[in-house]
């Protein structure tokens, strides 16, 4: 390969669907590459999804030819996080079996999954451990994570259900010669080749073996437990230990992972993560006890919708056009909707059979629900991150804002303000800054408001203080470390193109008054009312209503929520420092009790109004200590 060819390869553009490293979780999980038609091209597992997926997005010329062909054919990659590595193994197998991806020639790391197979298509069926799941007429159980446990269980079960274990060649030779096969001679084969049973009798034993494995019949376990107890009672501890070890081997084989439910389970689980703006839904489809598929949905939330109402809408959206065969016996959700009984009846009418809607409280179903919820949280974070970091979406948001608010230019710098207080005390305000649609956290500011009458007065005070910086000289001279004069632009000297406040017309009017008094009416102003997500402009009788799917509305919501978060954070920090500084000198009052007082009363002002009896109600605070606290605050 020439230097020019190598340079050409290196200069090729990166794969357009490559996710940013920060978007990929570091959890264990399973990932899927899809092509433009949505077909799954490859399924893989990873202990660390971020580390594994980054290998696929290395420079193309460094990839193996087959890997390079796969990633260039694909147009998207998606992943599902799980609780443990064993879960990722199980889920990877299920998806490979379901989707049959063309690039999954073999399991990753040269690992496949062991099955217990009973060759029912043979004249004398045998039990075996195999990784070949395409034996004609065979009945499979598994896959299992531990090969040794499968072998131990077979060794155990053939003592109760003595069926054939020898190879086909040994069986044919034994039947032709009339001499038992070698495993039969040492008591490890119970087929007709052992010369102890007929073909018909052996078939009946095989059916019992299959019925035990398929039906979850616990009769054998009970019998072995009874024998162990009898041996122990007879002080035959050696035999009791053998029975104990055999029971442990069976438990190891039949043990289910967190992603595998009882074999007769048909259920749909809905993990939901939500915030004020959006919700992500992970729909786990469980059939025959196995996760057969995962369906992800991200939806924009409606106005003032509760978690129960969201569940209601998700179920209606999922099953509204579903065929009867796609509706399971059980639907598990994070919380029951108010009309759960009606929804159950609606689903039963569509399915023609009983359907129950419930909340998983404990056990394997609760663990699987945790996994679904974890995936929903990851999906919601990814959705918000991609919308924020998408340059096209940000550009569209700023353009839409310019048109909706009638601005002369796109608001490249937006400042948003929010006021927070606790019952009229500890009043603080926040200022967050977005430039080009992205947060500038280094320019966030917080304000303390000492004397105020209400939220609008607080907002007016804060904006007056902030706007005063715009009238200072653009550059200030300061003395550097070496005595030289350094010109620095003062803080807050950059004016915003749009000033946004959290609230409706009262807050907008207060902000407009501050702008007018400061002589900066050239700055555009708007307010976003939280309840109906209306955008208010100064002097207008009616609000601007942006479409729910508008990128502009999404940007305003992010600004408002970020300002609210930053204000709450500042207020909590002040309350904590306030109450700690005042109470530190009280004898016998340590950090733990100070934190308890903070959680209970919220502020020093509220604590000052409390009686000794109210303070004594807190665990660990006796009458003497309560009286000391009251006296200390009264003296202060």
Fold of 584-635: DNA polymerase; domain 1 (1.10.150)
What is the average pLDDT across 564-576? 72
Question: Which part of the chain is CATH 3.40.1440.10?
Answer: 3-107
pLDDT digits (tens, 9 = 90+) for 176-232: 888 888 888 887 788 898 888 899 999 998 987 887 665 455 666 777 788 899 999
> Is 359's pLDDT higher than 90?
yes
Highest mean pLDDT pick, 242-251, 435-444, 587-596: 435-444
Q: Tell me the backbone φ, ψ of residue 78, rounded to 5 degrees.
A: -140, 160
Lowest mean pLDDT among 511-525, 554-568, 594-608: 594-608
For 576, the token pair is 């904590």
Quick check: helix, strand or coil at residue 581?
helix
- Give CATH 3.30.420.340 domain extents, the chain: 392-572
Rounded Cα–Cα distance for residues 445 and 466 (Å): 10
CA–CA separation, 26 vs 53, rounded Å? 10
Please check whether residue 260 is in contact with residue 290, taking contact to mean a CB–CB distance below 8 angstroms.
Answer: yes
pLDDT averaged over every residue in the chain:
78
Collapsing DSSP to helix, strand or coil, 224 comes out as helix
- Rg of the Cα atoms in the chain: 34
> What are the backbone dihedrals phi and psi of residue 476, each rounded to the nearest 5 degrees, phi first?
-120, 145
Q: What are phi and psi of 620, to 5 degrees?
A: 90, 0
For residues 455-459, average pLDDT:
87
Q: Give the pLDDT band of residue 488 (cuts 50, 70, 90).
A: low
Amino acid 416: pLDDT: 93
Domain 392-572 has CATH 3.30.420.340: yes
> Residues with Cβ < 8 Å from 11, sequence gap 6 or more?
none
Helix or strand or coil: residue 129? Answer: strand
pLDDT band at 579 (very low <50, low <70, confident <90, very high): low
Question: Can you read off the two tokens belonging to residue 537?
Answer: 């402009």
Residues 440-451: b if buried by 16+ CB within 10 A, e if exposed: eeebbbbbebee
Alpha-carbon gap, residue 324 to 347, rounded angstroms = 9
- Spatial neighbors of 250 by CB under 8 A, at least 6 apart, are 153, 156, 157, 220, 221, 224
Spell out a b/e string for 107-137, using b for 16 or more CB atoms within 10 Å of the CB, else e.
Answer: bbeeebbbbbbbbbebebbbbbbbeeeebee
Given a cut of 60, is residue 88 above it in pLDDT? yes
pTM surpassing 0.85? no
Q: How far apart are CA 102 and CA 38, in angstroms?
A: 13
Q: What is the 3-state secondary structure (H, E, C) of 248-265?
A: HHHHHHHCCCCCCCCCCC
Residue 620 has pLDDT above 50, yes or no: yes
Compute the average pLDDT of residues 446-464: 85
Phi, psi angle pair for 559, to nearest 5° = -60, -50
Query: Between the CA of residue 292 and those of 91, 268, 283, 616, what are the distances in Å?
Result: 9, 10, 11, 56
Report whether 178 contacts 221 (CB < 8 A).
Answer: no
Cβ-contact 354, 257 below 8 angstroms: no
CATH class of 3-107: alpha beta
Across 387-415, average pLDDT? 82
Tokens 């035959």, residue? 236
Distance CA 66, CA 78 (A): 20
- CA dist 628 and 56 (Å) reads 65
- What is the side-by-side strand order in the sheet with 356-358? 290-300, 278-287, 267-274, 330-332, 356-358
pLDDT of 617 reads 77
- Cβ partners under 8 Å of residue 150, min gap 6: 114, 116, 129, 142, 144, 253
Q: Say how far apart CA 343 and CA 346 lie, in whole Å.
A: 5
The residue with greater pLDDT, 233 or 494, is 233
H/E run at residue 578: helix 551-583
Q: Which residues contact 407 (CB under 8 A, 6 or more apart)?
A: 401, 497, 498, 524
Report the CATH fold assignment for 267-387: Nucleotidyltransferase; domain 5 (3.30.420)
């Amino acid at each position: 390969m020439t230097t020019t060819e190598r340079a050409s390869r290196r200069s090729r553009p990166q794969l357009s669907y490559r996710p940013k490293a920060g978007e990929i979780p570091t959890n264990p999980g399973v990932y899927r590459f899809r092509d433009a038609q949505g077909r799954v091209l490859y399924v893989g597992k990873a202990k660390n999804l971020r580390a594994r997926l980054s290998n696929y997005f290395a420079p193309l010329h460094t990839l193996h030819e087959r890997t390079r062909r796969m990633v260039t054919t694909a147009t998207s990659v998606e992943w599902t996080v799980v609780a443990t590595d064993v879960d990722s193994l199980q889920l990877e197998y299920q998806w490979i079996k379901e989707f049959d991806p063309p690039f999954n020639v073999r399991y990753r790391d040269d690992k496949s999954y062991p099955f217990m197979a009973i060759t029912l298509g043979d004249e004398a069926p045998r039990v075996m451990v195999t990784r070949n799941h395409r034996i004609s007429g065979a009945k499979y159980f598994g896959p299992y994570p531990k090969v040794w446990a499968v072998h131990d269980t077979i060794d155990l079960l053939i003592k109760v259900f003595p069926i054939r274990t020898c190879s086909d060649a040994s069986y044919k030779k034994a039947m032709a010669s009339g001499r038992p096969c070698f495993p039969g001679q040492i008591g490890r084969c119970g087929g007709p080749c052992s010369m102890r049973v007929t073909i018909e009798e052996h078939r009946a034993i095989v059916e019992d073996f299959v019925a035990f494995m398929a039906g979850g019949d616990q009769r054998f376990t009970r019998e072995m437990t009874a024998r162990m107890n009898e041996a122990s009672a007879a002080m035959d501890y050696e035999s009791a230990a053998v029975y104990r070890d055999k029971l442990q081997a069976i438990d190891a084989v039949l043990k289910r992972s967190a992603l595998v439910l009882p074999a007769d389970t048909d259920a749909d689980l809905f993990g939901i993560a939500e915030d004020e703006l959006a919700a992500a839904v992970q729909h786990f489809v469980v059939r025959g006890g196995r996760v057969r598929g995962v369906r992800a949905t991200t939806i924009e939330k409606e106005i003032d919708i509760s978690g129960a109402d969201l569940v209601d809408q998700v179920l209606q959206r999922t099953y509204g056009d579903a065929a009867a065969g796609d509706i399971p016996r059980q639907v598990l959700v994070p919380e029951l909707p108010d009309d759960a009984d009606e929804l159950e009846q609606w689903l039963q009418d569509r399915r023609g059979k009983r359907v129950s809607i419930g909340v998983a409280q404990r056990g394997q179903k609760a663990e699987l629900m945790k996994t679904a919820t974890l995936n929903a949280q990851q999906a919601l974070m990814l959705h918000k991150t991609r919308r924020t970091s998408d340059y096209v979406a940000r550009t569209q948001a700023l353009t839409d804002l310019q048109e909706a608010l009638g601005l002369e230019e796109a608001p490249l710098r937006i400042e948003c303000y929010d006021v927070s207080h606790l019952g009229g005390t500890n009043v603080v305000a926040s200022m967050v800054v977005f430039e080009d649609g992205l947060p500038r956290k280094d320019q966030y500011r917080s304000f303390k408001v000492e004397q105020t009458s209400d939220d609008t007065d607080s907002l007016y005070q804060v904006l007056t203080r902030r706007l005063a910086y715009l009238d200072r000289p653009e550059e200030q001279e300061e003395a550097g470390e070496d005595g030289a004069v350094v010109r620095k632009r003062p803080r807050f000297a950059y004016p915003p193109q749009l000033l946004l406040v959290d609230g409706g017309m009262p807050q907008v009017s207060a902000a407009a008054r501050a702008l007018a008094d400061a002589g900066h009416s050239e700055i555009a102003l708007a307010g976003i009312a939280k309840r109906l997500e209306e955008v208010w402009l100064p002097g207008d009788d009616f609000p601007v209503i942006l479409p729910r799917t508008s990128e502009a509305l999404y940007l305003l919501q992010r600004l408002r929520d970020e300002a609210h978060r930053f204000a709450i954070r500042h207020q909590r920090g002040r309350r904590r420092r306030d109450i700690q500084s005042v109470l530190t000198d009280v004898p016998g009052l340590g950090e733990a009790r100070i934190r308890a007082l903070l959680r209970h009363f919220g502020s020093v002002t509220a604590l000052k109004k409390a009686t000794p009896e109210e303070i004594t109600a807190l665990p660990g605070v006796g009458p003497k200590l309560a009286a000391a606290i009251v006296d200390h605050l009264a003296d202060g």
